[in-house]
């Protein structure tokens, strides 16, 4: 066995721990030993029990060596994991050679090492193991010892059956390898995308926590600054007017007073937060989300108003006012930025509200969403940004965009209670359209709606 270096998981590793392979091999060793013992001692079939036991014992010895020589938490390099899985394939092939080749019903277990590799290893290593399995099964179809059977009797299965078993094994290797590879790839992409989402949320929460930090700083620094001010005043009183330190004390007293004024403003700002920043109507929310993207040569037009339902009362027609939500701001900003990137000249942002829902529609006059990815839009690593600026599908996260921004925006908006719908505009208009719909309670809690309706009733 080649030396196994202790490394942490990254793009160069197999994402397989030594512990995982050792445990899987112990399962195989126990299963093989029980099967051989059952066939020989219970069923009474004639098989080379000594050679089979030696092959199984070799795997057990290898497991013991690896477990005592290396840490079980070790992440394996791809080439080392591939070597271990290749050993498992060859060990099973030897057992099958001794017990009937492909006529042995346990030949289907040759699929297992390739499936493990497909779920954790790079594609080239899985392909190598798949070719090894195909090569071994091809040889076992023609070269093997007789299938174990009752003493004095020989069971020979027809070549047609053996050929069918070979075809089933090869098909199984290909299918399970592709399936496991695809599932593992999607799981890794989702994990990376969720990590990126958590990083965005953490950044937004850190920004929201600055007011609390300012209040804490003002509180903690108030006492030592007061002590410095008292000492400076006492020293001023005791020093003569012509003292060379008089000017330094005056400067110290002035700067101390300045620091106290700054902390007083910070404390006041934290105790009485600006209502413009802490709460905002829908129209202001849209303006703040769109403002950073007006630097482009694209006209961003914003409109907001109640729905045209004539049954709406005065309270329902009032513009919803909710808490300033960094997640909604980030999500809307990303959608507006995406629309501006693809628009030819104009982006329309429309907000509409009624008794039960609040909806925002972002549309552009660009080429629209390709039908091939419309159902997948919003998944991680799916993007319409082509290297030439056209709308093309990309799922490998290379230079023309990873598709994570759209996924993060969709995730944040859905966490706020929204439902997103992606479509193209109705002809003769052209371009993409994203509609975000919230329950009105998610934007404006029920108590605030009732408070607003009471205010409306008191208004003459």
58-91, pLDDT tens digit by residue? 999 999 999 899 887 788 888 899 999 999 999 9
Residue range of the domain that includes 360: 279-458
Q: Are residues 313 and 256 in the same domain?
A: no
Q: How confident is the model at residue 175 (pLDDT cuts 50, 70, 90)?
A: very high
CATH of the domain at 293: 3.30.565.10
pLDDT tens profile 251-306: 888 888 888 777 776 665 544 444 445 678 888 888 888 888 876 678 888 998 88
Q: Does the residue 1 lie in any domain?
A: no
pLDDT attached to residue 381: 58
**Cα gap 111→98, rounded to integer Å:** 19
Pair 62, 188 in one domain: yes
Distance between CA atoms of 242 and 239, rounded to whole angstroms? 8
Domain shared by 70 and 84, yes or no: yes
- Extract the tokens encoding 357: 């829902």
Q: What single DSSP character describes residue 39?
A: I
pLDDT score of 441 more than 60: yes
Alpha-carbon 427 to chain mean position: 36
Q: Is the pTM of this model over 0.75?
A: no
| 168 has pLDDT over 90 | yes
Cα dihedral sign, 374-378-384-387? negative
CB 328 within 8 A of CB 413: yes
Bridge partners, residue 305, by sequence = 352
Question: Does residue 306 sit within a domain?
Answer: yes
For 32, the token pair is 């093989």
The residue among 273, 295, 324 that closes a domain is: 273
- 257 lies in a domain? yes
In a domain, 5, yes or no: no
User: Is residue 62 one of the residues assigned to a domain?
Assistant: yes
One domain for residues 40 and 138: yes
Whether 126 and 187 share a structural domain: yes
Q: Each residue of 349-404: pLDDT tens digit?
A: 999 988 888 999 999 988 888 877 777 776 765 665 553 434 343 333 333 344 56
**229 occurs within a structural domain:** yes
User: What distance in Å separates the CA atoms of residue 441 and residue 285, rounded to the nearest whole number?
Assistant: 16
346 and 257 in one domain?
no
Q: Which of 352, 356, 359, 315 is nearest to 451 (CA)?
A: 315
* pLDDT range class, residue 211, cuts 50, 70, 90: low
Q: Is the pLDDT of residue 316 over 50?
A: yes
- Strands of 112-271, DSSP E: 149-150
Please report, in angstroms and rounded to a whole number, the separation of the first and last CA atoms in the chain.
88
Assign 7 a pLDDT band (cuts: 50, 70, 90). Answer: very low
Q: Are 293 and 431 in contact (CB under 8 A)?
A: no
Q: Do 263 and 177 share a structural domain?
A: no
Is the Cβ–Cβ distance between 39 and 56 less than 8 Å?
A: no
Q: What average pLDDT score do residues 445-454 get?
A: 52
CA of 303: how far to CAs of 2, 3, 285, 347, 348, in Å?
67, 66, 12, 11, 8
pLDDT at 93 > cutoff 90 = yes
């Amino acid at each position: 066995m080649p030396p196994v270096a202790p490394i942490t998981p990254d793009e160069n590793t197999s994402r397989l721990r030594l512990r995982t392979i050792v445990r899987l091999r112990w399962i195989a060793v126990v299963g093989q030993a029980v099967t051989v013992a059952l066939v020989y001692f219970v069923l009474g079939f004639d098989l080379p029990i000594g050679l089979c036991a030696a092959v199984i014992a070799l795997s057990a010895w290898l497991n013991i060596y690896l477990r005592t020589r290396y840490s079980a938490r070790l992440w394996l390099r791809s080439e080392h994991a591939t070597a271990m899985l290749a050993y498992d394939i060859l060990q099973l092939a030897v057992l099958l050679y001794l017990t009937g080749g492909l006529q042995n019903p346990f030949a289907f277990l040759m699929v297992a090492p390739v499936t493990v590799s497909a779920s954790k290893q790079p594609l080239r290593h899985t392909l190598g193991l798949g070719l090894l399995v195909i090569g071994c099964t091809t040889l076992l179809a023609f070269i093997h010892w007789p299938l174990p059977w009752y003493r004095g009797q020989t069971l020979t299965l027809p070549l047609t059956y053996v050929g069918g078993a070979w075809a089933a094994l090869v098909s199984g290797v290909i299918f399970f390898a592709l399936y496991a590879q695809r599932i593992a790839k999607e799981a890794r992409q989702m994990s990376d995308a969720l990590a990126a989402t958590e990083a965005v949320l953490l950044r937004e929460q850190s920004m929201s926590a600055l007011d609390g930090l300012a209040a804490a700083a003002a509180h903690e620094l108030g006492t030592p600054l007061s002590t410095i001010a008292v000492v400076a005043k006492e020293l001023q009183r005791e020093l003569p007017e012509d003292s060379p330190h008089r000017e330094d004390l005056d400067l110290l007293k002035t700067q101390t007073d300045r620091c106290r004024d700054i902390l007083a403003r910070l404390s006041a700002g934290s105790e009485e937060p600006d209502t413009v920043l802490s709460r905002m109507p829908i129209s202001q929310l849209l303006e703040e989300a769109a403002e950073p993207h007006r630097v482009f040569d694209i006209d961003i037009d914003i409109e907001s108003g109640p729905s045209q339902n004539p049954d709406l009362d005065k309270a329902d027609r009032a513009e919803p006012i909710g808490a300033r939500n960094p997640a909604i701001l980030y999500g809307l900003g990303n959608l507006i930025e995406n629309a501006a990137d693809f628009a030819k000249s104009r982006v329309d942002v429309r907000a509409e509200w009624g008794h039960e829902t609040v909806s925002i529609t972002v549309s552009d006059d660009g080429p629209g969403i390709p039908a091939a990815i419309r159902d997948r839009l919003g998944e991680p690593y799916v993007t319409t940004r082509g290297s030439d600026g056209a709308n093309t599908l990309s799922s490998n996260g290379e230079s023309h965009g990873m598709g994570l921004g759209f996924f993060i925006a969709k995730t944040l908006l859905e966490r706020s209670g929204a439902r997103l719908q992606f479509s193209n505009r109705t002809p003769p208009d052209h371009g993409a359209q994203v509609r975000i719909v919230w329950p009105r309670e998610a934007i404006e809690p029920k108590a605030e709606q009732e408070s607003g309706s009471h205010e409306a009733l008191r208004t003459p």
